[in-house]
Amino acid sequence: MSATRPGPQRPGTAGATRVCPHCKTTILESSSVCPACKHHLRFDPEVVKRAALATSALRVEGTIRHPSDGEAWEYSMVLTIKNDRGEEIDRKIVGVGAMRPGEGRTFSLSVEVTGDGVGNASSSRKH
């Protein structure tokens, strides 16, 4: 990984993380619902207000289909996050698997943002 990866944030600051007690995924400390397993973690009226203001700043979905003939295909879904300078700050294998002839898979990615000024969030698309 790149040396530009942000270090751990102090509890109570933006970007601070914790581990979901249900699925053990690293999530934002401010989350009242785990985005991975959807378990409710706590009731916090302020978090509920912020969640209502959350917006999906980016949503991408695509489907691949194996032709009806040939051998099975293997796939790896890789997620990479880069900063404004194009430096990689995180990279994860999200899932792996195989498709037999005639099978297909749909992959979806969404990035949700919360906080002040969320309505001003922008995204750009590269081909």
Both 43 and 69 in a single domain?
A: no
Cβ(61)–Cβ(108) under 8 Å?
yes
Q: Is the pLDDT of residue 8 over 70?
A: no
Q: Is the pLDDT of residue 109 over 60?
A: yes
Q: Is the pLDDT of residue 25 over 80?
A: yes
Q: Is the pLDDT of residue 9 over 70?
A: no
Both 24 and 72 in a single domain?
A: no
Q: Is the pLDDT of residue 108 over 80?
A: yes
At 53, is the secondary structure helix, strand, or coil?
coil
Is 35 part of a structural domain of the chain?
A: yes
CA distance 98 to 75: 6
In the DSSP assignment, the letter for residue 69 is S
Q: Is the pLDDT of residue 78 over 70?
A: yes
Tokens of 63: 């489907």
Total structural domains in the chain?
2
At 47, is the secondary structure helix, strand, or coil?
helix
